[in-house]
Structure 1
Amino acid sequence: MFKPVAGSGPDKVVFVLIPNFSMIALSGVVEPMRLANRISGKTLYQWETASRDGETVMASNAFPIQTDKSVADYNYAPTNVILCSGIDAHVYKDNAVFGWLRRWAREGSHIGAICTGAHVLAHAGLLKGYRCTIHWENLDSFTEEFPDLDVRAELFEVDRDRFTCAGGVSGLDMMLNEIATRHGQDLAAAVAEQFMHERMREGHDDQRLPLQARLRISHPKLIRAISEMERHTEEALTRDEIADRVGLSRRQLERLFRRYLNTSPARYYLKLRLNRAKTLLTQTTMPVTEVAFASGFTSASHFSKCYRDMFGRTPRAERRGPGGAPLEDGDLLAEEDLEDFDDLDDDSIEALG
């Protein structure tokens, strides 16, 4: 992952902080290096922070971090560079920063990204031909925006001189693997123990909790049905197709959802698709109509109606953000003849797709 250094010198890392970066993602990478130095009694790692102008950068939790340098202060290519971002990375487009990143890449820097930093690398054109990953909440929007990239739902990906990780505590796992590779399993285990981190996860481990843990249900066929729904949010399946795939009748499928989740399959599926739509609206610049199609809807007006009744605002108002205008009749795309969402039966809800 990190670029090999000549002799026995420490690995040096420059963290480029993007406004609204994730503090836990940054800490998850820095703290293992600090503890590796402390436990080994050697300076194995050195690091500093940089920003576009060398000034203070605000984290997403409102903590200000005064950076050490500006990106323009480096008249050489740093050995290792890690982009750290968080909220709204998809709208970050700073050509000056992109230019420095591309220059460093040409001159041999190993460049990585944590949390949503893959968005920054992708906009800079530095992930073409590389495997990469990003936080699970951003996976759908990222793959929609960059369909030609090789995006994996991994904890972290290391591909030659590029590396990405999903954020949260996955940076800790990535660094533990790096420490184990460079300085031995014993040191990595000692660092993990200091964090009370019981297992060093591999890059291919799942980002998310299993469905059983997330939903607190264990019925195998219900889990399979929900898995089918999650895999087919763009090309929505009918209830009969879902029931057939898991080996149930439609009536048995209905009973399972009512018993364990107190809802119907159609309403559960609709909620999944609308949550995907919300992610695309807030994390991409895709037109609203394309968001509707990507979420399994074939009618923009039906999509707008369902979205309004679930979230209390239209897709266009969602795109404008929390400070956007409230609901307006003009946002509803002439849907006055539609029934209220709460009054729709399951067949009607399924037909909306």
Structure 2
Amino acid sequence: MMPVTSAIEPLRLANRSAERQLYEWSMYSVDGQPVAASNGLITAVVGNLETVPAQATIVVCGGLNIQQHTDRRLIAWLRKVARRGNDIGALCTASHILAEAGLLEGHRCTIHWENLPGFAEAFPDINVTGSLFEIDRDRFSSAGGTSALDMMLSLISGQHGPDLAAEVAETILHSPVRHQNEHQRMSLPARIGARHPKLVSIIEQMEQNLEDPLSPSILARQAGLSTRQLERLFRRYLDRSPKRYYLELRLRKARSLLLQTDMSVINVALACGFSSPSHFSKCYRAFFGRTPYRERGIPTLESVVSGAAAE
């Protein structure tokens, strides 16, 4: 709901500030039925896809578990309007829908940082960034949350001038306005609660090498430390060993891939630096309290046998 309202409100306020109708908008669903947001609020719509005005700019909204909510009717309709030449955008995870429809080839796009690893694995040929939003010719996308607000302010600025965009931003107390190339996530020091430059550098190396993990000795050497100093650094600031911290990074990426892609469990394990599926499953269960197969909702042999016994 937040990306949706963040996209609409700047348009309403642009009309108010300009004292004329610069923008108008309507909500549609695949079948013309109301849609429930993830927060439970019901959004009324004015019609189904076939009632969308021919020259409209299309903005697709996506939420949780987007892979499970990709409707083939929507994909077919998006391809049709793309051939017609409509401008098409995506809010939050809806970039996945545009990618499924083949509408992002040759265009930059972005998606929420939680979905970024899965998107990159599913669509390796698409230029996806970690930016707040991307505007690339007739395609535009925002990463979710309030980034839709910044994207709309940028579009308003380009279409009706920066003064109007600034007035809208001031009206909604949005200062400073964030730019397209700013990153979605807070800085690494803010995320880990520490600003030690060598610690930050080491964690950056870890995050960039999840598929082929670097050994503690290599990480220490790159940072100009001994392995003992490396251990002390992580214990002091993060209360865990470098090996443990690295493992947790890889497991969190694995969970993201399991939930957001159709990759097999074995391929997820390999993509996160586990050479043995059994070792991956053991580590995953120890950290998350369930196996990778259970995470996917796939019954294991043990659960099947237990279910049969209960019957």
Same fold at TM > 0.5: yes
Residue number in structure 2 paired with 1:306: 283
Q: Distance in 1 between matches of 2:238 and 2:301?
A: 30
> Structure 1 residues 115, 313: CA separation in 2 closer, same or farther (over 3 Å shift)?
same
| Structure 1 portions without partners, runs of 5+ | 1-22, 332-353
8 Å Cα contact 1:314-1:327 kept in structure 2: no
Q: Normalising to structure 1: TM-score of the pair?
A: 0.83
Aligned ranges 1:1-353 → 2 under 5 Å = 23-74=1-52, 77-320=54-297, 328=302
3-state DSSP of counterpart to 1:48: coil
Q: Distance in 1 between matches of 2:110 and 2:299?
A: 35
3-state DSSP of counterpart to 2:25: strand
Q: Distance in 2 between matches of 1:120 and 1:149?
A: 13
Q: Distance in 1 between matches of 2:51 and 2:165?
A: 33
Q: Distance in 2 between matches of 1:327 and 1:256?
A: 43
- RMSD after superposition: 1.7
Q: Distance in 1 between matches of 2:156 and 2:105?
A: 27
8 Å Cα contact 1:51-1:67 kept in structure 2: yes
What per-residue deviation string (whole Å, max 9, x for no partner) do you get for residues 126-183 of structure 1?
1112111111111100000111111111111111111111011110111111111122
Question: Which segment drifts farther, 228-237 or 268-277?
Answer: 228-237
Q: Which amino acid aligns with 1:99?
A: A
Q: Distance in 1 between matches of 2:212 and 2:176?
A: 37
What per-residue deviation string (whole Å, max 9, x for no partner) do you get for residues 303-348 of structure 1?
000000001100000011xxx76994899xxxxxxxxxxxxxxxxx
What per-residue deviation string (whole Å, max 9, x for no partner) do you get for residues 100-134 of structure 1?
11111111100010100011011111111211111
Q: Which amino acid aligns with 1:41?
A: E
Q: Which amino acid aligns with 2:5?
A: S
Deviation at 1:98, TM superposition (A): 1.2
Q: Which amino acid aligns with 1:221?
A: K
Q: Distance in 1 between matches of 2:16 and 2:174?
A: 17
3-state DSSP of counterpart to 1:46: coil
Deviation at 1:92, TM superposition (A): 2.8
- The count of aligned residue pairs is 305
3-state DSSP of counterpart to 2:257: helix
> Structure 1 residues 293, 182: CA separation in 2 closer, same or farther (over 3 Å shift)?
same
Q: Distance in 2 between matches of 1:259 and 1:217?
A: 10
Deviation at 1:93, TM superposition (A): 3.1
Q: Distance in 2 between matches of 1:220 and 1:238?
A: 20
8 Å Cα contact 1:82-1:114 kept in structure 2: yes
8 Å Cα contact 2:108-2:127 kept in structure 1: yes
Q: Distance in 2 between matches of 1:327 and 1:245?
A: 45
8 Å Cα contact 2:293-2:300 kept in structure 1: no
Q: Distance in 2 between matches of 1:192 and 1:253?
A: 45
Q: Distance in 1 between matches of 2:84 and 2:71?
A: 20
> Structure 1 residues 327, 201: CA separation in 2 closer, same or farther (over 3 Å shift)?
farther
What per-residue deviation string (whole Å, max 9, x for no partner) do you get for residues 67-94 of structure 1?
11100224x5333000001111123332
Q: Distance in 2 between matches of 1:330 and 1:90?
A: 26
Q: Percent identity?
A: 50
Q: Distance in 2 between matches of 1:196 and 1:328?
A: 55
